Amino acid sequence: MTPKRQLSFWQLWNISFGFFGVQIAYSLQSANISRIFATLGADPHNLSFFWILPPLMGMVVQPLVGKFSDKTWCRLGRRIPYLFLGALVAVIVMCMLPNAGSFGLTIGGAMIFGLISLMLLDTSINMAMQPFKMLVGDMVSEQQKAKAYSIQSFLCNAGSLVGYVFPFLFAWIGIANTAPDGQIPDTVKYSFYIGAAILILCVLFTTFKVKEMPPKEYAEFHGIDTSKKEEKAPSMFALLKKAPSTFWTVGLVQFFCWAAFLYMWTYTNGAIADTVWGTTDVASEGYQEAGNWVGIVFAVQAVGSVLWALMIPKFKSIKLAYAVSLLIGAVGFASVFFIHDQYLLFISFLLIGVAWAAMLAVPFTLLTNSLSGEHIGTYLGLFNGTICLPQIVAAACGGLLLKLVGGAQVSMFLVAGVFLVLGALSVMLVKEGRKA
């Protein structure tokens, strides 16, 4: 096996740069979906059900992208064709979704149109997102993976920051932040349009800058015995049976983490509209102002994540960094329940950003270091189930939990805090290394 090459900072940067644009699209979705469907007329107790579709599509799409891209090779490469196709579809759907209430449809018709658009948007975002994680696994040595995923985490949070502030920025320059009943404000529409343009430009940058390894070089880089390439590829279920224990133990941590963040994405708008602006009327100016402020506090979360990402490598143990980060995030979630000032929320979301930084970088570092290069795309696609399944479960249970905690949407932040504590405790079960 030839010595594994070391990539320069800018080579690592180019591999992940397109993720910046993908994350803008994802952040616009996560910050505005509850706002969009509440504006269309959804009941708060049913809001979490609209969040079942995104992770459900991710759980279906990402393993398939991994499996098929493992066996793909063309002029553009192995992973890049999938990210380019996903980005192209996402751009089209991003121009459709915020117009769900503008076509003269009934409330039910607008809801159905919005749901179909959301399904297509999340399918395409997942198709564009997963290849970036696979590119790092494909092209980066074990010694540089932590650095590569940290760069990806930085770009992810930078993209989130941009996407989150768009509605607030557009309102600040005078674009209408209210609209007739059942229609989405122009601030949200223009945010999706600009986000779509940035997404395709960023993906084009990665497409032209990154050259994937041809099959022979890839096999040498990962120490794969090419004599086995004629054997029938194992099924995804067979690979799951052979998955290292790290796959499952990190997956348990992921379950609690992603359930917690699903509740943040679902209930932040309603929670702060109630506790800070004193309204639950989705047609009110206060509710829409709260919707813009959601983008600001999510942007603060992204800033906290970027800053904390610089601290994670300073820990002697990556597991310790993981657990401490989740506990700090739990404090941030719980504190939202007690805060009634829009600016004090910055403290809460800075702390939440600490947990987010660890969630973006640490799990993939632990997992890819426990895998060989063979079937890495399929494994990363399957591992996405540990992100999607908890969100599906959390979304399905959201309405029931909301009733159990009294019906106030802000109470779901206490639930999220408990989940992150459980996630931090689960980190103790994780074993590092390929023999784990």
Q: Which domains does the chain have, with CATH numbers?
A: 10-221+236-429 (1.20.1250.20)
Written as six digits, the tokens of 165 are 């502030």
The string of pLDDT tens digits covering residues 356-407 is 989 987 888 788 777 766 667 677 778 878 888 898 999 999 999 999 999 9
Residues paired with 147 in a beta bridge? none
pLDDT at 234: 67
The string of pLDDT tens digits covering residues 99-146 is 888 887 888 888 888 888 888 888 888 888 878 888 887 888 877 877
pLDDT at residue 1 tops 50: no
Strand stretches in 55-144, DSSP E: none
Q: In sequence order, what are the residues at sequence separation of 6 or more whose Cβ sits closer than 8 angstroms to the Cβ of residue 8?
A: none
Q: Which tops the pLDDT comparison, 44 or 339?
A: 339
pLDDT at 304: 92
Number of CB atoms found within 10 A of residue 94's CB: 27
Number of CB atoms found within 10 A of residue 5's CB: 12
Rounded mean pLDDT, 250-274: 94
Rounded mean pLDDT, 412-427: 97
pLDDT at 373: 60
pLDDT at 257: 96
pLDDT at 312: 86
pLDDT at residue 231 tops 60: no
198 pLDDT band (50/70/90 cuts)?
very high
pLDDT at 200: 93
pLDDT at 436: 40
Token pair 């969040």 is found at 51
Q: Which residues of 369-407 are buried (b: 16+ CB within 10 A; e: fewer)?
A: bbbebbbbbbbbbbbbbbbbbbbbbbbeebbeebeebee
Q: Which tops the pLDDT comparison, 172 or 181?
A: 172
Whole-number Å distance between alpha carbons of 293 and 279: 14
E strand or H helix that includes residue 336: helix 318-336
pLDDT at 172: 92
Rounded mean pLDDT, 53-66: 77
pLDDT at residue 12 tops 50: yes
Identify the weakest region by mean pLDDT among 44-48, 99-103, 226-230, 270-274: 226-230
227 pLDDT band (50/70/90 cuts)?
low
Q: In sequence order, what are the residues at sequence separation of 6 or more whose Cβ sits closer than 8 angstroms to the Cβ of residue 67?
A: 236, 377, 378, 381
E strand or H helix that includes residue 57: helix 53-70
pLDDT at residue 69 tops 90: no
Identify the weakest region by mean pLDDT among 99-108, 155-164, 323-332: 99-108
pLDDT at 19: 87
214 pLDDT band (50/70/90 cuts)?
confident
pLDDT at 290: 92
